[in-house]
Amino acid sequence: MIKMNRKGDVPLIIMVVVTLALIVTLIVVFLTFKGDLSARSSEYSKLSSGLEFNYQYIVSSAKVIIKETVNNEGYGDRLTNDIIKEIAEKYNYNIKGQGNFFGEIRNGNFEFDGTKLVVEGLFVTSEFKASNAKRVFDLCLEFDGSGEFVKYC
């Protein structure tokens, strides 16, 4: 009679037991999963729309500030940067999430040559419940001689 080698029986039994345990765990996970991802999706949507609103607020504020600067009575007589700072302060409503745009203007960290406004290193933020997001960007806008927005540069 030929005697068979039984050295592989124990590892095979352990592999079968582990496989069965994983299958049972997987079935429990599938049965208990609620599938409600809409709450997280809604949260991300609100964060994203908050960022977009704050970004558009900064861009719109910059357009209004430059238009009013160019149409200001003292535009040719005084330093343009001083006029921009004064007008920007008038439009600073301290909206939550507006970032550092008005601070950069107030500190003179911008360039305006009469047709192009450049402000680098800006950010806006958005918060919803425990989540928050931050968008970092550089602002570059071109205007015509009357202060009307022409295009992004």
pLDDT > 70 fraction of the chain, expressed in percent and rounded: 93
Q: Left (φ > 0), alpha (ψ -120 to 50) or beta: where does 121 sit?
A: left
Q: Which residue has the higher pLDDT, 127 or 76?
A: 127
Tell me, what's the pLDDT at 4?
A: 67
Residue 123 pLDDT > 70, yes or no? Answer: yes
Contact 153, 67 (CB under 8 A): no
The mean pLDDT of 27-56, rounded to a whole number, is: 88
Contact 80, 59 (CB under 8 A): no
Concatenating the DSSP letter of every residue in 9-29 gives HHHHHHHHHHHHHHHHHHHHH
- 125 — pLDDT class (breaks 50, 70, 90): very high
Q: Give buried/exposed letters for 130-141 (b at 16+ CB in 10 A, else e).
A: eeebebeeebeb
- Give the separation between CA 152 and CA 118, rounded to whole angstroms: 10
Tell me, what's the pLDDT at 35?
A: 76
Element (H, E) at 151: strand 149-152
Partners of 132 in the β-ladder = 127
Tell me, what's the pLDDT at 18?
A: 97
Tokens representing 108?
């003179």
Tokens representing 144?
């015509």
Tell me, what's the pLDDT at 10?
A: 84
Q: Which residues contact 19 (CB under 8 A, 6 or more apart)?
A: none
Residue 1 pLDDT > 70, yes or no? Answer: no
Digit-coded pLDDT (tens) for 4-36: 667 778 888 999 999 999 999 999 999 988 877
- Give the separation between CA 153 and CA 143, rounded to whole angstroms: 10
Tell me, what's the pLDDT at 2?
A: 67
The mean pLDDT of 83-103, rounded to a whole number, is: 94
